[in-house]
Amino acid sequence: MYTQELDVRGADAAAAADPGMLEQHFLARVDAEQKIEPKEWMPERYRSMLIRQISQHAHSEIVGMLPEGNWITRAPTLRRKAILIAKVQDEAGHGAYLYSAAETLGVSRDELIAQLLSGKAKYSSIFNYPTTTWADVGAIGWLVDGAAIMNQIPLCRCSYGPYARAMVRICREESFHQRQGFDLMLHLARGTDEQKAMAQDALNRWWWPALMMFGPPDATSTHSGESQRWKIKRISNDELRQKFVDFTVPQAKFLGITVPDPLLRWNEAQQRHEFGPIDWNEFEQVLKGNGPCNAERLAARRSAHAEGAWVREAASAHAAKQRLRATRHAA
Ligand SMILES: [Fe+2]
Ligand SMILES: [Fe+2]
């Protein structure tokens, strides 16, 4: 810690003489796998890229509570209900860690939430699809949390300290989410014909949106270059998507259900699966706000925010009272 502190001061002094030095020093630290901490110098583009990414990630956790929260009151057993409540609460916690990580970059949580509620901020496109059957809870855990883990494990080594540390905790919980989803799918797949059909239908609907979660193809991805240079993003969208397919296809086989892709096949020479084209037009439409549930999700967040106003007011009043008490005590 002391060495790091001295390094930064040394860099500050050098930068007074040469402004390019700060950036060089920053890049050298990133190359040396050192973590960048909130009060240290960083390029403005790095800061704004992180604010965008971390806040989109936080919004996704919070909006992601809605599709599954929809099933809490209809869970088929007490055990499944307890698991689902725990999972949805974890997602709220993930949102809270991530908003805090974003705040260390000099943006306020109020500002970020206002961007979400106004429809200006983006969140993961996957949460704009409906959860029409109980099997969707299994498919989300298995595929959506599975894709999230694939995306997020490399972020545990991201160059920005608070984000990397938040991701370590989050990934541990995501792994429980993935396993409970797979376990639910396994129960359905080994159940009655009707239950197995329900599991197959959920896979049919969630497979392609799950592949879209890794973002646009590398050739068209706009933020990838800088993000990789700064070690925010470590593995490209296409590489992560390929890993996900290779990891998930054998699991679908084990479940005895079929991935809805007629072009899916194992390439022995390359030791990987080939898969059919993704409908990027659908992805663009959902991102633009035209997905099946975009309006419903935002309406739910807005009403939750309005209904929570009294909690925020009570917390502020309590904090003001505490401050007054502390001042009186000090006087
Ligand atoms: Fe999460
Ligand atoms: Fe999760």
Predicted confidence (pLDDT) per residue in 262-288, tens digit: 999 999 999 999 999 999 999 999 988
CA distance 68 to 84: 8
Closest CA to 259 of 271, 246, 270: 246
Ligand nearest to the CA of 176: 2
* CA 217 – ligand 1 centroid, Å: 23
Mean pLDDT of 105-133: 95
Mean pLDDT for 70-96 is 97
How far does the centroid of ligand 1 lie from the alpha carbon of residue 21, in Å?
Answer: 38
Taking the CB of residue 226, how many other CB atoms lie within 10 A of it?
14
Q: Positive or negative, the Cα torsion across 31, 32, 37, 39?
A: negative
Spacing, Cα 315 to ligand 1 middle (Å): 26
Q: Over the stretch 206-248, which tens digit does the pLDDT of each residue have?
A: 999 999 999 999 888 766 788 888 999 889 999 999 999 999 9
The model's pTM is 0.90
Residue 260's alpha-carbon distances to 26, 146, 216, 265, in angstroms, are: 46, 18, 20, 12
Predicted pLDDT of residue 17:
55
Interval between CA 17 and ligand 2 midpoint (Å): 48
Q: Is the pLDDT of residue 1 over 50?
A: no
Ligand 2 centroid – CA 61 distance (Å): 8
| pLDDT of 190 strictly over 90 | yes
Ligand 2 centroid–CA 26 distance in Å is 33
Q: Give 172 Cα–ligand 1 centroid separation in angstroms.
A: 10
Q: 47: closest CA among 127, 101, 116, 86?
A: 101
Are 36 and 47 in contact by the 8 Å Cβ rule? The answer is no
Q: What is the per-residue pLDDT for 12? A: 52
Nearest partner of 122 among 66, 170, 67, 57, judged by Cα: 57
Q: Which ligand is nearest to the CA of 141?
A: 2
The pLDDT assigned to 16 comes to 56
- So what's the pLDDT on residue 267? 97
Q: What is the CA(19)–ligand 1 centre distance, in A? A: 40
CA distances from 299 to 74, 90, 174, 185, 199 (A): 22, 22, 26, 30, 29
Going from the Cα of 294 to the center of ligand 2, the distance in angstroms, rounded, reads: 20
Q: Which amino acid is at 126?
A: I
Gap from CA of 31 to ligand 1 centroid (Å): 29
Q: 117 alpha carbon to ligand 1 midpoint, in Å?
A: 20
Contact 167, 103 (CB under 8 A): no
For the chain, the average pLDDT equals 92
User: First-to-last CA distance in the chain?
Assistant: 37
Q: Distance from the CA of 164 to the center of ligand 1, in angstroms?
A: 14
Distance (Å) from CA 197 to ligand 1 centroid:
28
**What does the alpha-carbon distance between residue 81 and residue 78 come to, in Å, rounded to a whole number?**
5
Within a 10 A sphere around the Cβ of 208, how many other Cβ atoms? 17
Please write the tens of the pLDDT for every residue from 5-62. Answer: 334 444 555 555 576 899 999 999 999 999 999 999 999 999 999 999 999 999 999 9
| Beta carbons of 41 and 5 less than 8 angstroms apart | no
Structure tokens at 330: 């000090």
Distance between Cα 88 and ligand 1 center (Å): 8
Q: 238 vs 87, 109, 212, CA distance in Å? A: 28, 32, 10
Please name which ligand lies nearest the alpha carbon of 67.
2
User: What pLDDT band is residue 111 in, cutting at 50, 70 and 90?
Assistant: very high
Taking the mean position of all CA atoms in its chain, how far away is CA 85?
19
Cα(256) to centroid(ligand 1), Å: 27
- Burial pattern 245-284, b for ≥16 Cβ within 10 A else e, equals beebbebbeebebebbbeebeeeeeeeebebeebeeeebe
Tokens of residue 175, six digits: 């792994």
What are φ and ψ of residue 265, in 5° steps?
A: -155, 155
| Shortest-distance ligand to the CA of residue 145 | 2
Ligand nearest to the backbone CA of 94:
1
pLDDT at residue 3, as a whole number: 36
Closest ligand by atom to 166 CA: 1
